[in-house]
Amino acid sequence: MPSAYVQHPEFGHDRDFRGYGEHGLPELKWPKDAKIAVSFGGERSVLSGDGQSETNLKENPGGPTRINERNHNVESEYEYGSRAGFWRLFRMFNKYDMKFTLYAVAQAVEQVPEVATRCVEMGHDVASHAYRWIEYHDFSVEKEREWIRKGITALKNLTGYAPKGWYYGRGSPHSRTLIPQVYEEMGEELVWASDTYADDVPYWIDRPDEKEKADAKGCLMVPYSYDCNDFKFHVAGSGFRDPDGFFTHLKNAFDVLYEEGEAGTPKMMTIGLHCRIIGRPGRFKALQDFVEYISQKQGVWVATRTEIAEAFKAQFPYKKSCLA
């Protein structure tokens, strides 16, 4: 029989099922009285010593898992993202003067540093998606701490600043505590984290390692989204069957949140994009149509996740033992 799960007190975050309740957060105000804030936000490789090529989110879902053998087809899909997809997205968002957050896998960006430097030059936000796109679940605490530090350092070397935000996607049970701890150890500021899908606006969580601290800082969570996310083009059965379905889903989500903002409770919409997926021309057109659609609306604030976090913090500073 498996043993019962026991939370380590330093890493055991309490769950909050109540959130902001029936009436939301009507006191929240986005810049320029916007009704809605819209946020547009690496591969494993044998060459990096992983023993196998990436198996997730491929155009062709079939084929064997190759152990200690490179899969050039899979590698080339990821190369499409950096060679063509990223620049197609980059040009479009600059054309509409819309700022985005780049979730940077540090090792991948080290291969194409101009991606990071051009984002900085154009005012986009570079956040951390860890140093490598690998599973961290079974890392020891000390090993994960070392890799977090490595990820921060690598992006700082590329952009000139430590990433203000962090989204793992493949984190461990220790990650929520370790990430802000490492930032503090390095004298850097973590403004937000996004390994949560629990709300349509940011919210604070208590850090279990701060229970005895009078100057606790908490951690601001800026929720990510799996439903408004292009990875679902590669999910059989429950994903998007065509670009029209992707556009319709984004538009429906936007319209609902926009209407709630008009009613007095401003919301945030997160759209997750992958250069190798949405960067393909046939899918890109759906994103382009959606960007054009929201550009015609009044009261839409397209912002980086750091801008959203800072606007929220200014109105709702952290209060210890405050679960939202």
> What is the per-residue pLDDT for 246?
96
Residue 237: CATH number of its domain = 3.20.20.370
Please give the tally of structural domains in the chain. Answer: 1
Residue 221 lies in a domain: yes
Contact 252, 210 (CB under 8 A): no
Torsion of CA 94, 95, 97, 102, to 10 degrees: -30
Half-sphere exposure of 93 (CA within 13 A, CB side): 26
Residue 305, domain extent: 31-315
- Could you read off the pLDDT of 13-61 as tens digits, one per residue? 677 766 777 677 878 999 999 999 999 984 433 333 333 344 454 454 5
Residue 163 lies in a domain: yes
Query: Residue 206 and residue 197: Cα distance in Å, rounded?
Result: 17
> What is the per-residue pLDDT for 35?
95
Residue 10 lies in a domain: no
> What is the per-residue pLDDT for 78?
74
> What is the per-residue pLDDT for 7?
59
> What is the per-residue pLDDT for 320?
78
Half-sphere exposure of 309 (CA within 13 A, CB side): 23
Amino acid present at 31: P
Residue 70 lies in a domain: yes
Residue 322 lies in a domain: no
> What is the per-residue pLDDT for 66?
54
Nearest to 249 by CA among 295, 292, 290: 290
> What is the per-residue pLDDT for 224?
95
> What is the per-residue pLDDT for 53?
40
> What is the per-residue pLDDT for 5?
52
> What is the per-residue pLDDT for 236?
79
Q: Which portions of the chain are predicted below pLDDT 50?
A: 42-55, 57-58, 60, 68, 322-324
> What is the per-residue pLDDT for 267?
97
